[in-house]
Amino acid sequence: MVTSRLVLWDIDHTLIETGGVGREVFASAFAEVTGTPMKDMAEVSGRTELVIFGETLDMHGIPHSDDYFERFIDLQAQGYEERAHEMRLRGRVLPGALDALQALSRVPGITQSVLTGNTKASAEAKLRIFGLNRLLDLEIGAYGEDDPVRARLVPVAQDRARGKNGLTYSPDLTVLIGDTPQDVIAGRDGGARVIAIASGESSTADLKAAGADVVFPDLTDSAALIWTVTG
């Protein structure tokens, strides 16, 4: 009998890098929504866009508004689409990421989606620009506008997957793959096993200390990744 597993991927610095375009797109959308040029930006690593946007408002002394964030979501995604060519020139798919997604897609019982701080619109745009969207079920992902607390995104994705395919994914059958200690903590607190990839700014030691079940230096060993996901 095939065991069903849910694999949830972080996007930035795990699958792709934007080469600085991401910050520029954020700044442009922020300025258009608020009428204020962005002088500084909140910490982004391992956090949700809802929190990043809110803290960036605070840093500029701008009152919070649901309308601001709703408009920001649309403008940010539009910015990625408009700068798709530049994204491909300056950014990249990280080593082994495409092969890893393809290899896991061939394993019976595995469903792949995302758990990301990006909004759904921006996540879809980024993945489409780099040709990775077709390998992921983005309907059942969990995104930066779903909840400010990243750990609570795990059950969001599990519930969406269950609603779509009727399967229940326990912590043993849910795997989160990310590159920051915040990703690791979110997975462990949210109800998932965690594979950490030291492809961003966090070291292998940092990721192990955060509690990752397994740490890989990158995604180039698809066989080891499959063994870990299915083990």
For residues 195 and 211, what is the distance between their CA atoms, to the nearest angstrom?
A: 10
Q: What is the pLDDT of residue 12?
A: 96
For 15, the token pair is: 């699958």
**Average pLDDT of the residues in 27-46:** 94
Phi, psi (rounded to 5 degrees) for 150: -60, -35
* Cβ atoms within 10 Å of 211's Cβ, excluding its own: 14
Contact 120, 70 (CB under 8 A): no
Q: What is the pLDDT of residue 66?
A: 85
Q: What is the longest distance spanned by two Cα atoms in the chain?
A: 57
Residue with tokens 């690593």: 45
Q: What is the pLDDT of residue 71?
A: 97
Question: Closest by alpha carbon to 11, among 146, 167, 141?
Answer: 141
Q: What is the pLDDT of residue 51?
A: 94
Q: How confident is the model at residue 118 (pLDDT cuts 50, 70, 90)?
A: very high
Phi, psi (rounded to 5 degrees) for 147: -165, 140
Is pLDDT of 65 > 90? no
For residues 145 and 147, what is the distance between their CA atoms, to the nearest angstrom?
A: 6
Is pLDDT of 157 > 90? yes
Q: What is the pTM of this model?
A: 0.95
3-class secondary structure, 25: helix
For residues 202 and 196, what is the distance between their CA atoms, to the nearest angstrom?
A: 10
For residues 165 and 167, what is the distance between their CA atoms, to the nearest angstrom?
A: 6
Is pLDDT of 226 > 80? yes
SS3 content of the chain, % helix, strand, coil (to 5): 50, 15, 35
Q: What is the pLDDT of residue 231?
A: 86
The angle subtended at Cα 216 by Cα 213 and Cα 222, nearest 5°, is 105
